Amino acid sequence: MLCTVLKAKLHHLRVTQADRDYEGSLTIDEDLMDAVGIVNYEKILVADLENGNRLETYAIRGPRGSGVACLNGAAAFMGNLGDRLIIMAWCQKDESEIPFHHPKIVRLDEKNRIVASAV
């Protein structure tokens, strides 16, 4: 049997931009995506710590080192600039793999810089 488990988490990603006219998604600094193994166009769950909103969308690469976190399309209505987000990605593992699985988790500061990580 396969179980869906946490693969990656960006904790306290701050919203830096919103673009309601874009087709959709969340643009994330590619360095941050790489830090936890989120790939371009991967499905993500976004939780906004300021208002409790949760949404499913997909991640797209933003410029490396920019610290960008841009809510695009309908997602732009779900939060505000400066909101702290938790970004989660999932994977499926066989039950036998679960005891050895460890998600990649990164905690960010107010400028979207990595301050702690767990792998």
Report pLDDT for 6.
98
Report pLDDT for 96.
96
Report pLDDT for 119.
73
**25 catalytic, yes or no?**
yes
Note the CATH architecture for domain 2-118: Beta Barrel (2.40)
DSSP 1-39: -EEEEEEEEEEEEEP-EEETTS-SEEEEEHHHHHHHTPP
**58 catalytic, yes or no?**
yes
Catalytic residue among 58, 66, 96, 117: 58
Report pLDDT for 63.
97
* Region 42-60 average pLDDT: 97
Q: Which residues pair with 114 in a beta bridge?
A: 108
Domain spans of the chain? 2-118
Note the pLDDT tens digit of each residue in 65-115.
999 999 999 999 999 999 999 999 999 999 999 999 999 999 999 999 999
Catalytic residue among 22, 25, 41, 117: 25
User: Would you place residue 24 in the very low, low, confident or very high pLDDT band (cuts 50, 70, 90)?
Assistant: confident
User: Residue 32 pLDDT more than 80?
Assistant: yes
Report pLDDT for 117.
93
User: Would you place residue 54 in the very low, low, confident or very high pLDDT band (cuts 50, 70, 90)?
Assistant: very high
